[in-house]
Chains A and B, each alone.
Chain A
């Protein structure tokens, strides 16, 4: 069964910490995406990548960066976590012509 795996299901971090959210896919997909989901705001795209070492900003990139050193891994980085980054973070991957496959999500709380 194809999978997108996010490293943590729940995470609690302190304000100002550097936070890494990891996502790995085993489908050899070219495209990978990071979304966050908040009540009343739905899913919003943070960053995406169409290839290794390539990244593009989504709709809300401020306060985030990403890294894609290998095709199967796409990392989301919060350089200095803030309380307004408390959210559910969802990673997804796809190939052209395919639907997205999402991970189970990481619920991040910044205190």
Chain B
């Protein structure tokens, strides 16, 4: 699976948008980009994933560059409860186009949301 690079830490003011970048310059054509977050003392929580189109759900938006070498997770209105470690992961798909296989977690970005 392709390696990802994320900033070690970021700060954000409550109510503002949090934009978390991820570099995955060696991503393959069959690899999805996944985002998870882990709040202290809890298991990681799935946020969103995408292949090449931008995606949005009730938690966040995912913007993937056209060359797919980087992506940005956007939390549109950050709250104190969004303080967590955010992981960007790339994961392969099988011949049928569905993602499969193990997730390899890096160190992630520690996002701190301030009042």
Chain A residues closer than 8 Å to B108, beta-carbon distance: 42
Q: How far is the CA of A96 from the CA of B107 in the complex (A)?
A: 25
| 0/1 string, B90-115, CB within 8 A of A gives 1 | 00001010111011111110000000
**Interface SS majority for chain B:** loop
Chain A residues with a Cβ closer than 8 Å to the other chain, count: 23
Known: A43-B105, A96-B94. A102 touches B100 (CB 8 A): no
The reply to whether A99 and B104 form a contact with Cβ atoms under 8 Å apart is: no
Q: Given that A96-B94, A97-B98, A99-B36 are known contacts, is A45 also in contact with B104, CB under 8 Å in the complex? A: yes
> What residues of chain B lie closer than 8 Å to A35, measured between beta carbons?
105
A-B contact count (CB 8 A): 48
User: For the complex, would chain A's binding face be called helix, strand, loop or mixed by DSSP majority?
Assistant: strand
A96 x B34 contact (CB < 8 A):
no
Report yes or no: A100 in contact with B103, Cβ–Cβ below 8 A.
yes
In the assembled complex, the Cα of A100 lies from the Cα of B96 at a distance in Å of: 19
The 4 closest A-B CB pairs, nearest first, are A102-B43, A99-B46, A97-B98, A43-B105
What is the interface of chain A, defined by CB distance below 8 A to chain B? Answer: 4, 31, 33, 35, 42-45, 48, 58-59, 90, 92, 96-105
17 A/B residue pairs, CB under 8 Å, sorted by A:
A4-B43, A33-B103, A42-B108, A58-B102, A90-B43, A92-B43, A96-B94, A96-B96, A96-B99, A97-B99, A99-B46, A99-B49, A100-B36, A102-B44, A105-B41, A105-B42, A105-B43
